[in-house]
């Protein structure tokens, strides 16, 4: 009985602390009504970024379609991931590099009017390369690429959600 009360008090204290610091769950993005049916125009429709963005759009009420008729078009002319070498070790091998993911996008309504002008977003992460553990370094790079794609897709969704036609 005493343990149950203690857990209840602890749960209430945590809830009050989170409410006091301004924490709240992020709700759905309010996308423009023109995005009820949206086509994504990009050179690589199977990239991690585009797949993640499609999922987020669908979760927020937009239907991602392939047919161009009567749909808003989310144009993504640039979706680029690159590696920049930051430092080279004594053995002339890369010790540290940066993964950079850059996207450009704009939203056009079915009549061709620009709803969201072209915008660029870029995020990067630094990786230290360990020659002794190549498998872990490769997996870390894959994880960071996925994380960058997810972060950028959420940023694009927020930008689309703040636009009012």
Helix (H) or strand (E) run with residue 83 in it: strand 72-88
Look at residue 28 in the predicted model and tell me its pLDDT: 65
Q: For 115, phi and psi rounded to 5 degrees?
A: -90, -40
Q: Which of the pair, 106 or 28, is modelled with greater confidence? A: 106
Helix (H, G, I), strand (E, B) or coil at 76: strand
Look at residue 71 in the predicted model and tell me its pLDDT: 84
pLDDT band at 64 (very low <50, low <70, confident <90, very high): very high
Distance separating alpha carbons of residues 93 and 88, to the nearest angstrom: 5
**What residues are paired with 39 via a beta bridge?**
73
- pTM of this structure: 0.76
How many residues in the chain? Answer: 165
8 Å CB contact between 108 and 71: no
pLDDT band at 25 (very low <50, low <70, confident <90, very high): very low
8 Å CB contact between 42 and 73: no
Highest mean pLDDT pick, 78-92, 107-121, 129-143: 107-121
pLDDT band at 91 (very low <50, low <70, confident <90, very high): confident
Domains of the chain: 31-161 (3.30.160.150)
Look at residue 116 in the predicted model and tell me its pLDDT: 94
- Within 21-99, residue ranges assigned H as helices are 48-59
User: Per-residue pLDDT for 20 more than 60?
Assistant: no
How far out from the chain centre does Cα 155 lie?
Answer: 6
């Amino acid at each position: 009985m005493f343990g149950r009360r203690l857990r209840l008090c602890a749960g209430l204290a945590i809830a009050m602390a989170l409410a006091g610091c301004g924490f709240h769950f992020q709700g759905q993005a309010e996308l423009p009504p023109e995005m009820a049916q949206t086509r994504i125009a990009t050179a690589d429709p199977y990239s991690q970024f585009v797949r993640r963005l499609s999922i987020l759009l669908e979760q927020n009420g937009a239907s991602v379609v392939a047919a161009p008729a009567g749909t808003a078009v989310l144009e993504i002319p640039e979706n680029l991931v690159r590696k920049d070498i930051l430092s080279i070790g004594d053995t002339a091998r890369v010790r540290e590099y940066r993964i950079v993911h850059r996207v450009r996008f704009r939203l056009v309504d079915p009549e061709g009017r620009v709803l969201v002008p072209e915008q660029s977003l870029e995020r990067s992460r630094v990786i230290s390369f360990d020659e002794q553990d190549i498998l872990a370094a490769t997996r870390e790079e894959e994880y960071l690429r996925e994380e960058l794609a997810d972060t950028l897709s959420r940023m694009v969704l927020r930008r689309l959600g703040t636009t009012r036609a």
